[in-house]
């Protein structure tokens, strides 16, 4: 491997932070996971991240100057220009935390911060279910619902470079109140935490048990799932008409077991989308799983020079 075809990936989630050294091909050389410990504050997390990157570089036998760059994916909104975290919900108290400068100072290489859904999208478009398609929309179902889009080969960004938050497409104005300030958001009806809350309210266990019960045609569980799938279909309708993707990718932890069910709801909306070019929009399962973020960050880090 020649110099500068190596990258470091950092993924900051609400409960854990994953770090990996990655080769140009997307191969993971070394990886480690540390708890986020969000409640201990941002300042306490920074040296732990820097130390973990140092340790993995040592274990990989790499020196920092061999790195093309470091790619960071972070849950929620981020300020890519300032390199700061803006997520008040999953990382309370971390708003405004600059995660880019400490890593740039410690390793002397370019550092790119990106929303984690955008990183996963980059990975899928680089080497997974989005490869060869453009435009691409990827929806990620986990604790929340994330969304990202690739248009003309670029990650779609809003004003100030912000990440469009597709989980907050409202599908029911009289629906459940969402933490974002409105009601009936896609995320507040169909995410893992939404299903968990509905299951608990009806004495149906957790989200996993709810989905299992729905599969066994237990009426209360089926009703909750039907509402969630109806939200998936409505949100898909809106997103597809707004962006007209060639490919819609469904990913995230919930799709490991329930892709077929959710894909059927999304595909039914696509099939009814009379204002979209008939037969041109395909729905596919994310191909890379957790590795999408790694590959996305690696491809972003390896392309830093062409991006800037």
Contact in structure between 234 and 171 (CB atoms under 8 Å): yes
Rg (CA), the chain: 20
Contact in structure between 7 and 301 (CB atoms under 8 Å): yes
The CA distance from 112 to 21, in Å, is 15
The CA-CA-CA angle for residues 108, 303, 136, to 5°, reads 135
User: Which of 64, 180 has the CB closer to Zn ion?
Assistant: 180
User: Which of 100, 254 has the CB closer to Zn ion?
Assistant: 254
Window 155-174: residues binding Zn ion (CB under 5 A): 168
CB of 259 to Zn ion, least distance (A): 24
User: Which of 18, 231 has the CB closer to Zn ion?
Assistant: 231
Q: Residues 19, 178, 263, 284: which binds Zn ion (CB under 5 A)?
A: 178
Q: Residues 32, 34, 50, 180: which binds Zn ion (CB under 5 A)?
A: 180
Residue carrying the six token digits 């932890």: 253
User: Which of 85, 178 has the CB closer to Zn ion?
Assistant: 178
Contact string (CB under 5 A) for Zn ion, positions 138-157, x = contact: --------------------
CB of 120 to Zn ion, least distance (A): 20
Stretch that binds Zn ion, among 76-84, 154-162, 180-188, 298-306 (CB under 5 A): 180-188
CB of 190 to Zn ion, least distance (A): 12
User: Which of 91, 185 has the CB closer to Zn ion?
Assistant: 185
Dihedral angle computed from the Cα positions of residues 188, 192, 198 and 204, in that order, rounded to the nearest 10 degrees = 170
Contact in structure between 2 and 277 (CB atoms under 8 Å): no
CB of 75 to Zn ion, least distance (A): 15
Stretch that binds Zn ion, among 117-125, 154-162, 184-192, 290-298 (CB under 5 A): 184-192
3-state secondary structure of 242: helix
Window 240-259: residues binding Zn ion (CB under 5 A): none
- Residue count, binding to Zn ion (CB under 5 A): 4
DSSP conformational letter for 207: H
Contact in structure between 260 and 92 (CB atoms under 8 Å): no
The CA-CA-CA angle for residues 127, 131, 135, to 5°, reads 135
Kind and range of the H or E run holding 224: helix 219-243
User: Which of 122, 168 has the CB closer to Zn ion?
Assistant: 168
User: Which of 173, 219 has the CB closer to Zn ion?
Assistant: 173
The CA distance from 156 to 17, in Å, is 25
Binding residues for Zn ion, per CB under 5 A?
168, 178, 180, 185
């Amino acid at each position: 491997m020649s110099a500068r075809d190596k990258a470091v990936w950092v993924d900051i989630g609400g409960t854990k932070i994953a770090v990996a050294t990655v080769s140009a091909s997307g191969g993971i050389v070394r990886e480690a996971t540390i708890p986020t410990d969000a409640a201990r504050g941002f300042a306490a997390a920074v040296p732990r991240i820097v130390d973990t990157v140092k340790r993995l570089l040592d274990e990989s036998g790499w020196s920092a100057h061999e790195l093309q760059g470091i790619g960071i994916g972070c849950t929620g909104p981020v300020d890519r220009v300032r390199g700061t975290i803006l997520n008040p919900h999953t990382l309370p108290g971390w708003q405004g935390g600059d995660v880019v400068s400490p890593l740039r100072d410690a390793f002397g290489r370019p550092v790119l911060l990106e929303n984690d859904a955008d990183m996963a999208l980059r990975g899928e478009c680089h080497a997974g279910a989005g490869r060869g398609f453009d435009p691409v929309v990827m929806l990620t179902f986990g604790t929340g619902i994330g969304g990202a889009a690739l248009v003309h080969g670029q990650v779609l960004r809003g004003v100030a470079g912000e990440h469009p938050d597709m989980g907050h497409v409202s599908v029911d104005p009289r629906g459940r109140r969402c933490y974002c300030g409105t009601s009936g958001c896609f995320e507040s009806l169909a995410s893992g935490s939404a299903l968990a809350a509905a299951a608990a309210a009806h004495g149906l266990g957790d989200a996993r048990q709810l989905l299992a019960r729905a599969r066994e045609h237990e009426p209360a569980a089926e009703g909750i799932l039907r509402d969630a799938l109806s939200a998936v279909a409505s949100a898909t309708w809106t997103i597809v008409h707004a962006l007209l993707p060639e490919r819609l990718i469904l990913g995230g932890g919930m799709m490991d077991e329930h892709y077929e069910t959710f894909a059927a709801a999304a595909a039914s909306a696509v099939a009814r989308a009379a204002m979209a070019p008939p037969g041109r929009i395909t729905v596919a399962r994310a191909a890379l799983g957790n590795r999408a973020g790694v590959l996305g960050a690696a491809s972003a880090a390896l392309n830093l020079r062409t991006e800037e």
